[in-house]
Chains A and B, each alone.
Chain A
């Protein structure tokens, strides 16, 4: 098993962050989590710690998730960002992908979706 993963979870809801982290923990070995409660905080914390994977909600105060994707990708084009949102419309999906997101999970999250994303984004490192 290689070095433990660092995963940034950006959501304004403490409950949504907890639920997502609980699911991720089931499929990874001792991940290190970084919490962000809005888009700007996610950008700042990404730049500080360059996590292996980022999960971002769309609807957040101060700066929304899709703007945050654009800024993070602007700073680091190799960033792996997955959008986790209840607003899973075609338009939002398109905007997220155009901004540089790698995947999109529709809330309410299902464990198998999170597992698939972990497998496809970080593969055997999980």
Chain B
């Protein structure tokens, strides 16, 4: 869950523009992590050493690791460690932004340190993010966006991000939530929850984005917007809200009830004051998550 929030951290710090971020996310799937980025992240090499080795690579036909060893920027055991280490996924996003020229290696180096410090991320990226850490990350994301959440809403959003990872894919970045009183829909599906927690959530997206979203969700290749695509959006929402009801029951012993999901025919939705819209960028397009409370 680290990569997702690194993108919004970069926006928050005005380090990159939303357009640069979107472009970088769209490129992620055909990018591979480089040794230099890893070495910098581990603190084995500085940004300027990495830049120097990259420059030398353009003149000498040698690998990055080879040059770094020759120059004593890396020790053998460090190189071995890098080659077998699992890199945290947010590094790839940072590296893509460097490749695009949106960031320099020096800027990325300090942004990575800042991101780790702010979120108290574990030094060793190999370890799976634990649940509390992820939850704290999400809580801070909403606080930083001026939209602190109640305990139940936080659990709800935690589950949203987990279910996006589980059912659609982890290659997304949420942007800051936008408070919204009136929302113009494109293709929007909503579902109402009532009981001890009362809220309506929805997903809204362009038809072509819906086709990609549905293809991932249903694990089928859709090429046109048909009833299976719209059913996939409803299913995702219904499954997510069902799992929320299971969590509410298990953690708080409270039973919420769900209305069937529905397609919003209305081109404009009137929302309450505490409602917000959360844009979530995937390589295939932006999914807008509505939380009406």
Contact with A along B163-188 (1 / 0, CB 8 A): 00001000000000000000000000
Question: Does B33 count as interface, using CB distance less than 8 angstroms?
Answer: no
- Bin chain B's interface residue count: 20 to 34
Q: A13-B234, A87-B245, A89-B246 are in contact. Are A59 and B228 (CB under 8 A)?
A: no
A85 CA to B243 CA, complexed, in Å: 10
Partner of A59, one of B167, B231, B255, B259: B259
Contact with A along B238-252 (1 / 0, CB 8 A): 111111011011100
Question: Does A108 count as interface, using CB distance less than 8 angstroms?
Answer: yes
Question: Does A61 count as interface, using CB distance less than 8 angstroms?
Answer: yes
Q: A15-B218, A59-B258, A59-B259 are in contact. Are A89 and B249 (CB under 8 A)?
A: yes
Beta-carbon contact of A15 and B231 below 8 Å: yes
Query: B250: which A residues are within 8 A, CB to CB?
Result: 89
Beta-carbon contact of B239 and A108 below 8 Å: yes
Question: Does B260 count as interface, using CB distance less than 8 angstroms?
Answer: yes
Minimum C-beta distance from B66 to chain A (A): 47
Interface contacts (Cβ under 8 Å), in number, total 54
Question: Does A107 count as interface, using CB distance less than 8 angstroms?
Answer: yes
Query: A14: which B residues are within 8 A, CB to CB?
Result: 227-228, 231
Interface residues of A in 68-126 (CB under 8 A from B): 85-92, 106-108
Query: B20: which A residues are within 8 A, CB to CB?
Result: none
Question: Does A60 count as interface, using CB distance less than 8 angstroms?
Answer: yes
Q: A15-B228, A15-B232 are in contact. Are A59 and B238 (CB under 8 A)?
A: yes
Q: Which of A18, A59, A91, A108 has the most CB of B within 10 A?
A: A59
A19 CA to B219 CA, complexed, in Å: 10
Question: Does B109 count as interface, using CB distance less than 8 angstroms?
Answer: no
Beta-carbon contact of A15 and B235 below 8 Å: yes
Beta-carbon contact of B249 and A90 below 8 Å: yes
Contact with B along A19-61 (1 / 0, CB 8 A): 1000000000000000000000000000000000000000111
A15 CA to B261 CA, complexed, in Å: 14
A87 CA to B245 CA, complexed, in Å: 6
Minimum C-beta distance from B208 to chain A (A): 19
Query: B235: which A residues are within 8 A, CB to CB?
Result: 13, 15-16
Beta-carbon contact of B228 and A86 below 8 Å: no
Q: A15-B218, A59-B238, A107-B242 are in contact. Are A89 and B255 (CB under 8 A)?
A: yes
Known: A85-B242, A88-B246, A92-B255. 15 other contacts (CB 8 A): A13-B234, A13-B238, A15-B218, A19-B218, A59-B242, A59-B258, A60-B260, A87-B245, A87-B258, A88-B242, A89-B249, A90-B249, A106-B246, A107-B242, A108-B167
15 interchain pairs (CB within 8 A)? A12-B260, A15-B228, A18-B228, A59-B242, A59-B259, A86-B241, A86-B245, A86-B246, A87-B245, A88-B246, A89-B245, A89-B250, A91-B255, A107-B239, A107-B242
